[in-house]
Amino acid sequence: MHIAETVSATRDAIAAWKRAGETVALVPTMGNLHNGHLSLVREARRQADRVAVSVFVNPTQFGPGEDYDAYPRTLDQDSALLREEKADLLFIPSVDEMYPLGGNKTWVSVDDLGDHLCGANRPGHFRGVTTVVSKLFNIVQPDIAVFGEKDFQQLAVIRRMTAELMMPIRIVGAPTDREEDGLARSSRNGFLTAAERPRAALLHQHLQQARNAIAAGERDYRALEARLARALGEQGFQVDYFTVADAHTLAPAGPQHQDLVVAAAARLGQPRLIDNVTISLLNT
């Protein structure tokens, strides 16, 4: 596995593969890799000849009081895991490499899609995500980029950005990788205490309850949201949102919408957990 710390070294490696006629898949990450990330790497391997993985904790997607400084950085472990998965390139830029002119003055922003769900509680977050992802796309120029469906809003925003800016990149959404009890794998799960960890699985269970209720005919989505958010609160969660949304616009869903995502974000102790389930009423 080739390790590159600079934009120029990364471009040189990619250019050699492209000259050989090989396709390239990119998996952008912030490191502290776990099996959820590795499932994306495996999907990338299925999709392309070469797999590039970036590890960069992006400061512009963290808001005031968020956990940028505390975000775990485990580069040695990450490198070992990626070698086992036979990734071809690991790109590990510094903040100065990614933001060489200092304070960023150029931003990529997707209107509307970033205003709902996590965007409503984390102003500027998705502007930071789309800006750094567009930088990574410009550096690597992949044929394919793989993102996890756990971050449903992020995936939707990046798909819209890629389509509207006419980037010649196919965006692949990979299914959420879960623990045996249903908890979505996340780097932030490591912040759960031993007492909190079993309760964390309740987030996914309540999302499934919502999906089952909708499949059974429930259409008062606001009442459903309130009921299940209250139930999570009684289990010790601090709920940011529990929302039934239109899967295309991410706006709150009404009875006229057919493709739905039930998404939730909640703190349990220190970590903020997110998860979602989807449902198509055309199939119910």
pLDDT tens by residue, 161-213: 999 999 999 999 999 999 999 999 998 898 999 999 999 999 999 999 999 99
The pLDDT-based confidence of 284 (bands split at 50, 70, 90) is: low
pLDDT value at residue 123: 87
Question: Is 125 one of the annotated binding-site residues?
Answer: no
Question: Is 34 one of the annotated binding-site residues?
Answer: yes
210 in Cβ contact with 183 (< 8 Å) = no
Q: Which residues contact 170 (CB under 8 A, 6 or more apart)?
A: 143, 144, 145
Give me the chain's average pLDDT, please. 96
pLDDT tens by residue, 124-139: 899 999 999 999 999 9
**Which of 37, 116, 125, 206 is labelled catalytic?**
37
The SS3 assignment for 258 reads: coil
Average pLDDT over residues 1-29: 98
Q: Where are the domains of the chain?
A: 2-174, 187-277
125 in Cβ contact with 61 (< 8 Å) = yes
Question: Is 86 one of the annotated binding-site residues?
Answer: no
* Entry pTM: 0.94
Question: Is 30 one of the annotated binding-site residues?
Answer: yes
Average pLDDT over residues 89-118: 93
Q: Which residues contact 178 (CB under 8 A, 6 or more apart)?
A: 184, 185, 204
Average pLDDT over residues 231-248: 97
CATH topology of domain 2-174: Rossmann fold (3.40.50)
Long-range pairs for 102-107 at CB < 8 Å and ≥24 separation?
104/60, 104/131, 106/131, 107/131
CATH topology of domain 187-277: Pantoate--beta-alanine Ligase; Chain: A,domain 2 (3.30.1300)
- DSSP letter at 66? S
Return d(Cα 133, Cα 54) in angstroms, integer: 10
Active site residue 37: yes
